[in-house]
Amino acid sequence: MASGGERGVELAEVIRQLRRELKAAAAEGAGAGEALQFEVGPVEIEATVAISREAGAHGKVRFWVVEAGADGKLARSATQRIALTLHPKAVAQDGTTRSPLISGDEIDGER
């Protein structure tokens, strides 16, 4: 798998984007002074990933989230299904943590 763009995206990028979306929702709710807010509970992600390893002394193992239409050979031989449960925490400057709150208007198609 030469690049994530052809068959999928790196798992780390999926988690980074999820973090950005949660931060945006929290900022939107706080900025608007929303009366109704939701505490973010565990976030569950289930994905089919392909594992690749780069050769060399400083090679890395990478996990690629695979598109549903990946060719059958790849899907049978080099993919695994993984499930992650993330527990988002808001971290204050003093290092204390709390469950973040999100709010905002409903977006079309949101579930």
Residues 1-45 have pLDDT tens digits of 444 445 578 888 889 999 898 888 888 877 766 777 777 888 888
* Residue-wise pLDDT tens digits, 45-60: 888 888 877 777 777 7
Mean pLDDT, residues 60-86: 70
Q: What is this structure's pTM?
A: 0.61
Pairing of strands 43-53, 79-86: antiparallel
d(CA 6, CA 50): 12
H or E stretch at 11: helix 11-32
Give the pLDDT confidence score for residue 75 in this predicted structure: 44
Q: At 14, give phi and psi (nearest 5°).
A: -60, -45
